[in-house]
Amino acid sequence: MREILDETLRMLESCEEFALVKVSADSGSTPRAAGAEMLVRRDGSIVGTIGGGLLELTMMKAAGEAIERRRWLLTGMGLTGTDVRRADEMLCGGAVDVLITYVPAGDPALLEVCRAAAAAVRDRRRGWLFTILPAGDSAAPESADGGLERCLLLDDGTVAGALQDAAVLRATLGSLALHGSAVLPDGRSVLVEPFEPAATVVICGGGHVGQALAPVAVALGFGVVVIDDRAEFADSRRFTGATAMHLPFAGALERAGVDAHCYVVIVTRGHVHDVDVLRQALRSPARYVGLMASRGKRARVWAALREEGFTETELARVHSPIGLEIGAETPAELAISIAAELIRVRAGAEG
């Protein structure tokens, strides 16, 4: 979502028109689930993806038409083809509903919402973006926005954008899944897109594995912070797209601002630093804690922590040996293994 938000804000501030394409519902097997989004510019170029292939091409063409006609539409596509020889079918087996929204140049209402959303992301606040569809089956072609309204509800009850009561908006959230639709008391349908503070991988140790993991995590959309107590290993030039912090490991996680949206990866140069950081991680609300260690080393570390009073429940939070079991040995292979485990946890498949 951050990539789409940044480009939406940039284009609004540059007074360029474009279209937003969002998978609003899915059923069966589909390339991307509800919530997948892309931005389509007037020249046909895109940011983001709703899954590629024929689905994406079809919706890119529809977005171009939406820009030309200056209107929105809610459409769908079945992906239940059966003939592998046909290029005009998708064989996934499911179906999607897609909302395509024309955005006029400098749209002030959306600009207000996007600026509020960008500020919330910067301040690591939670929120929900509401897209309210007008009553009736189709958009008014003479209207630039076709009667669509957008607003942002933040976790403190603040509402930006279309004038809506915060209590009414909150009431629509209880029956929703991660992405979903609901009906307001006035009968209008609303699509709801939640956003959370950016997930951040805090890599403790800037050596071979940390250096290999950082760019992979950046490419996966994580914020990345690398901590090392050696200046040469905490050099920002070694970690493009990440924040490098030259800090002693003692107290490092607090100084890095580790919270419930952080994934702590412990790959320091030695067991003393590993244990120090692990103590901090277990006392933090971090969503993920991973320790690179052999089973023998882990047993000794666990024994030491038990003596310090850590419980089995607390120790069970730790992923160690770290990463998915793929036979990884080299730093690059270990980075892929660790990144795969981070993806699994972020997707909610494992806590």
Helix, strand or coil for residue 95? strand
pTM across the whole model: 0.78
Distance CA 209, CA 288 (A): 18
* pLDDT top residue among 262 and 185: 262
Q: Give the mean model confidence (pLDDT) for residues 55-71.
A: 94
* pLDDT top residue among 114 and 181: 114
Of 93-107, 182-196, 318-332, highest mean pLDDT? 318-332
Q: Give the mean model confidence (pLDDT) for residues 95-108.
A: 93
* pLDDT top residue among 347 and 18: 18
Q: Is 60 exceeded by the pLDDT of residue 139?
A: no
Confidence of residue 42 (pLDDT cuts 50, 70, 90): very high
Distance CA 170, CA 161 (A): 15
Contacts of 36 (CB under 8 A, 6+ apart): 22, 23, 48, 49, 50, 51
Q: Is 50 exceeded by the pLDDT of residue 142?
A: no
* pLDDT top residue among 350 and 119: 119
Distance CA 191, CA 289 (A): 34
Q: Is 50 exceeded by the pLDDT of residue 281?
A: yes
Q: Which of 54-58, 106-110, 345-349 has the lowest mean pLDDT?
A: 345-349
Name the percent of the chain lying above pLDDT 90: 61
The tokens describing 18, both together, are 């474009």
Q: For residue range 72-84, what is the model confidence (pLDDT) as tens digits?
A: 999 989 887 776 6
Q: For residue range 21-32, what is the model confidence (pLDDT) as tens digits?
A: 999 888 898 888
pLDDT of amino acid 157: 87
CA separation, residue 71 to residues 39, 110, 183 (Å): 15, 15, 22
- Domains of the chain, residue spans: 2-195, 200-346
Distance CA 304, CA 157 (A): 45
Please, what CATH class does the domain formed by 200-346 belong to? alpha beta
Q: Is 80 exceeded by the pLDDT of residue 91?
A: no
- The C-alpha R_g of the chain, in whole angstroms, comes to 23
The tokens describing 117, both together, are 């959303």
